[in-house]
Structure 1
């Protein structure tokens, strides 16, 4: 019986690609939970949840290294071209953003613990809840768009990033006003500022992941592009 080596190689290659994609999605699920737990910690003052976020950061870092190594091995062994190459490069870039999202979640947890008994202060609580809920949805939406090759879903995430940026700017104005009215609040306000900044950065990384969907499907690099430019690329035939 004659063996089809080309078919075997092709099948193994597809399995390799599916493997890194599945690993990326598993990492994405962990990171999404990390962010949701970090937001819960700062809005409820639950130090145990904050501790858990910090403890699990190493898992995120480990996954980044493992998946990046898998991507490198595929590039070396398979020398993929066209859409297969874009898949490997996109996964590698998404994993980098997921690791940075994990870092920002850890920062939120650390500031939660540093604030101690001040963490139940209502200052910017509404903004933190709203922004936190939005960025968790953005992470989920970006990963879902990547899995489905859904450019419309990816563009929606980019649009939502603009809304988070607007809420962040509004919260900054509230913080500045509060500090001017009560200088004794400056220390606490600065901690909240760093938390809000971390949440805003998570939104930026979710946007980055969505931009990789456009690259994956279209082969067009839309990093550093405006929302209008991204929408135009997504609509092109």
Structure 2
């Protein structure tokens, strides 16, 4: 991922602080992306050892979030940034919260996938595979857009969540079929449904990060706005 598109300052120390903050966000983003990739691998193969690694690494994601938030607070207190500098620090602080929650979702998926039982349960888990790949792609793209603070890319990625929502609805229909055919499958259905819901929420978190990119570059808070209105605002 390329560097943030940020301005340089007369203060070399301030530049160094922002660069350090950038590096920490990129490290966290890379770790979260790996967490999701590994969780999907567990879903594919039921690897309990890998699932345990995902669960254990979540503590590192949490530690990174706390450290980055503390650094954002320190920069605001010490440097009193204004305009785009303040927007950058706020965007980073908000983005790491969403990244931490994506990490939590990946952990839940890994836990669920590692509990695969009989072939029927595995068939249920596999209904989520295509949705997982869509979500993984969206996360990769949004991290790249955030690294470059690319508004056009963020706008395009924002719309990808519709595909994930559609995939989620398809998964729910398939799981309901399993449940109606065999009521004994209900506990397994609920486990898999929880994993699918976690993937759907990751898509929402990615949308949030897109909105932070728009906020930083354009200075406009587009949260909760209809997407057609967002496009009109940014013309």
Shared fold, TM over 0.5: yes
Match of 1:206 in 2: 206
1:231 and 1:145 mapped to 2: Cα distance? 17
- Residues 174-205 of structure 1: CA deviation (Å, up to 9, x unaligned): 11122112111111111110010011111111
Match of 1:190 in 2: 190
Q: After the TM superposition, which of the residue ranges 153-162 and 220-229 deviates more from structure 2?
A: 220-229
Judge conservation of contact 1:118–1:188 (CA < 8 Å) in 2.
Answer: no
Judge conservation of contact 2:46–2:115 (CA < 8 Å) in 1.
Answer: no
Give the Å deviation of 1:233: 3.6
Q: 1:44 to 1:88 in 2, by over 3 A?
A: same
Q: Which runs of 5+ in 2 are unaligned?
A: 1-7
- Residues 63-100 of structure 1: CA deviation (Å, up to 9, x unaligned): 00100000000000000000000000000000000000
Q: After the TM superposition, which of the residue ranges 98-107 and 18-27 deviates more from structure 2?
A: 18-27
Instruction: State the SS of the aligned residue for 2:115.
Output: helix
Match of 2:4 in 1: none
Query: 1:66-77 to 2 correspondence within 5 Å?
Result: 66-77=67-78
Q: 1:196 to 1:12 in 2, by over 3 A?
A: same
1:233 and 1:70 mapped to 2: Cα distance? 32
Q: Which runs of 5+ in 1 are unaligned?
A: 1-6
Q: 1:84 to 1:182 in 2, by over 3 A?
A: same
- Residues 111-169 of structure 1: CA deviation (Å, up to 9, x unaligned): 1233345586222514x222111111111111111122211211122111111001101
Match of 2:229 in 1: 229
Judge conservation of contact 2:72–2:93 (CA < 8 Å) in 1.
Answer: yes
Judge conservation of contact 2:46–2:116 (CA < 8 Å) in 1.
Answer: no
Match of 2:5 in 1: none
1:206 and 1:50 mapped to 2: Cα distance? 23
Task: Please give the TM-score of this superposition, normalised by the length of structure 2.
Answer: 0.91
Q: 1:155 to 1:37 in 2, by over 3 A?
A: same
Give the Å deviation of 1:227: 2.5
Total equivalences in the alignment = 228
Task: Please give the TM-score of this superposition, normalised by the length of structure 1.
Answer: 0.90
